[in-house]
Amino acid sequence: MSLTRVTICWTLRATVSMASVVNGSGERYSFGYSRPLRETSTRSGAAVSNGGGLGTLGASGRSPAEIREATARIRELTTAPFGLNVLLFYHDEETVETVLAQRPAVAAFAWPTADQSLADVFARAHDVGAQVMHMASRLDEAVRAAEAGADVIVAQGSEGGGHVGVMSTMVLVPQVVAAVAPKPVLAAGGIADGRGLAAALALGASGVLLGTRFLATPEAPLHPHFKQAILASDGHDTDLTEIPDLITGRVWPGAFARTWRNALIREWTGREWQVRQQRPRIAAEVAAARAAGDAERTPLLFGQDAGLIDTIEPAGDLISRIVREAHDVLTGRLPQLVGMPARP
């Protein structure tokens, strides 16, 4: 299997551009990795790009100096395209300016408020030569972004980890594909292996964007205890909740946080009003728990696809395996269902 990179358009909550993995038979499968804020690092983003995918780095929550330093570090680690991601609801013009000044191959945007002009920010990204990827959790959000000039739309289902909407990937992806055609769509949410990639392609997506699966890699900047929680999860032990955002004091527009149902979440579920009341104390305790690697006392945002993850695997190896698995499904099992011979 050979890896060939092409730049294409796509979108999600972290930064993006797009890469394709091409196998020996010539089939091309598009790949991306995206996580917001603290879960991304220069090492993990570069590792995904080096492996044939498109790595992204969350910029929101970082200072301009940190964004510049992180971008420079990624460029030291890879010559491949990568993306920078901006959470628009932060209304942080300095972050937008700093990200665009880095001239990433892909400028990824997500979670705007209703009053923000997507066309303006997308045009600015195009002016610096970036492709625009935008993540949407609803059909109307995807159409809004497409009409504003996004090059690629990421349709993110509620199975995903972190901040999501309430529509499932299986329903949302074909809706968005039909509504924004001929723009390419990436499927996100609940995808962790080659079967998920093959299913996304069957739904009309041009590729996939993965988050949770890449948290269980050596390159991901998570405490080992947090990675072990992902491996131990069967996917049924996550909830959609606002508790993590109540603790941080930052409410995302129209989003829930898909979070592991640990001791912290169980303690405060149904008592959200008390979280608001006691937020400073709880936030301090959570910060201490995170620093100590206490997986039970800090919010861990990962998706239902944790139930498909049972190994810590290098990012490059992971990409190759997922593509190989998808190729086997698409050329082996599926042709036989319509009476065609499987291809080698």
pLDDT digits (tens, 9 = 90+) for 311-321: 999 988 999 89
DSSP category for residue 340: P
pTM comes to 0.88
pLDDT digits (tens, 9 = 90+) for 242-299: 999 999 999 899 999 999 999 999 999 999 999 999 999 999 999 999 999 999 999 9
pLDDT over 60 (residue 143): yes
d(CA 31, CA 34): 10
Please calculate the CA angle 45-74-212 and round it to the nearest 5 degrees.
10
Mean pLDDT along residues 114-137: 97
Mean pLDDT along residues 205-216: 92
Per the model's pLDDT, the better-predicted residue between 11 and 139 turns out to be 139
Q: What is residue 10's predicted lDDT score, i.e. its pLDDT?
A: 26
Q: What is residue 118's predicted lDDT score, i.e. its pLDDT?
A: 98
Where is 286: in which H helix or E strand? helix 279-292
Question: Could you tell me how far CA 80 lies from the centroid of its own chain?
Answer: 19
CB 90 within 8 A of CB 123: no
The one-letter amino acid code at 276 reads R
DSSP category for residue 181: T
